[in-house]
Every structure is written in structure tokens, then in C-alpha cells.
Amino acid sequence: NAGVTQTPKFRVLKTGQSMTLLCAQDMNHEYMYWYRQDPGMGLRLIHYSVGEGTTAKGEVPDGYNVSRLKKQNFLLGLESAAPSQTSVYFCASSSGGYIAEQFFGPGTRLTVL
Amino acid sequence: AQSVTQLGSHVSVSEGALVLLRCNYSSSVPPYLFWYVQYPNQGLQLLLKYTTGATLVKGINGFEAEFKKSETSFHLTKPSAHMSDAAEYFCAVGGGATNKLIFGTGTLLAVQP
């Protein structure tokens, strides 16, 4: 099993450009999450999904959109990137909300110039 | 609302010394508490979790944590630090109607030879 994979691993964007981060999991998990990690701020939840076709906002959703068209995939989109979105992005999946262990991907390091 | 406070963003110990990483939580419902570890350039991995029952929880790599409701704490300990324990450690809390975890800001553990 590959677990949780993220594509790409690194990306540099210019302000105003758009991009999509792909997260895939092969554990048949219902729940998937997108976090951003910034120095001194821990992990902050951007959006999450409790099942195929569902999405919900987390703590810091502004400037991001998500889609969960297939159970195994969770996409995070930036429509118009801003320097404040420079961060490391982590995807995670779990079988049961906050009760179950979250399995994390390796992260995507995004720099917006 | 739930929150987590990790006291000490950086902790340094000598190899073989006791490791103590502090976590205090706030929750209006019975909490579910977690410790995750992040090694350099990797995603997070679950160390241990408290859901219900025994208040002393044992995790991987010799770590354990004790849930103290009266002190609203869930401190992480390890009797003897190893060089391989150098990493960032995150405490997290979940519970109630939410499907989310709230993470602390992390504690970076350095182990000196």
C-alpha cells in the first residue's frame, strides 16, 4: 500500500497563478483533510471531507477550494495564489473523524512569489 | 470550542535523559487526545492516543502520556531519550460534534549527544 500520496512535492508560483494539489489514498478511508503548516503555527485545517462528494470548511478556508469527486482523491485548488499562501500543505485521511488515526502524506512545499 | 497549548516550542535534552513535552487542552466535551510526531521533511505519524478508559496511554518508540482531567493536561514522556527521537511533536484534541482535530503549535525536540 502506498498510503497517502501527494502531487507535486514542490511548486513555485507567481502571484495570481492557479494550481491544484492532488491527494490520493488507497486505504478506502471516508475522511480526508487538507492542512497547511507554517512555522510557529502548527497545523491548521483548510478544508475536509467526510465522504465522496462532500466538502466542508476548516479554520482557514479563504483562497482555497476543494473537490472530492472520487473517494480516493481529494483536490485542493488555489485560484489566484498570494504570497500568504506560501506554506507546506499536508493531506491526511482517516477511517473515522477525530476518533481514528489520521494518516498523513509527505507534504507539498509551495512558494508563491 | 476546543484548543491545545503546548508549552515550550523548543526542548533540548541529553541522550539518555527524561523527555517531558507539555500539552494542556481546553474542551467543553470529553476530549480525545493525540500525540503526533513529525520527522524532518516528512508527514505526521501517530505516537499515541487517548479516547476513553485507562488514563496512562502507551505509544510507539517508548513514549507514553497521561490524561489528567483535573489538570486538563496530556503530557508526553519518555524515560530515556535517544538521538532518533529528535523531531517535532504535536498534541491534538478532538471531540463533540466536530469531525476535526485541533493541533497545537508543536514542540521541537533536540537530543544532544
User: What are the pLDDT digits (tens) for A56-74?
Assistant: 999 999 999 999 999 999 9
Does the pLDDT of residue A1 top 80, yes or no? no
Alpha-carbon gap: B9 to the closest alpha carbon of chain A (Å)? 8
Is B103–A4 a contact, with Cβ atoms under 8 angstroms apart?
A: no
> Cα(first)–Cα(last) distance of chain A, in Å?
36
- Where on the phi/psi map is residue B65: left (φ > 0), alpha (ψ -120 to 50), or beta? beta
pLDDT > 90: percent of chain B: 81
B31 interfaces chain A, CB cutoff of 8 Å: no
Q: State the cell numbers at A3.
A: 498510503
The answer to whether A53 and A67 have CB atoms below 8 angstroms apart is no
What would you measure as the largest C-alpha separation in chain A, in angstroms?
Answer: 39
Is A43–B9 a contact, with Cβ atoms under 8 angstroms apart?
A: no
B110 — pLDDT class (breaks 50, 70, 90): very high
Residue A1 burial class via C-beta count within 10 angstroms: exposed 0-12, middle 13-18, buried 19 and up: exposed
Number of H helices, E strands in chain B: 0, 11
State how far the Cα of B98 lies from the Cα of B47, in Å rounded to an integer: 22
B105 — pLDDT class (breaks 50, 70, 90): very high
Alpha-carbon gap: A79 to the closest alpha carbon of chain B (Å)? 25
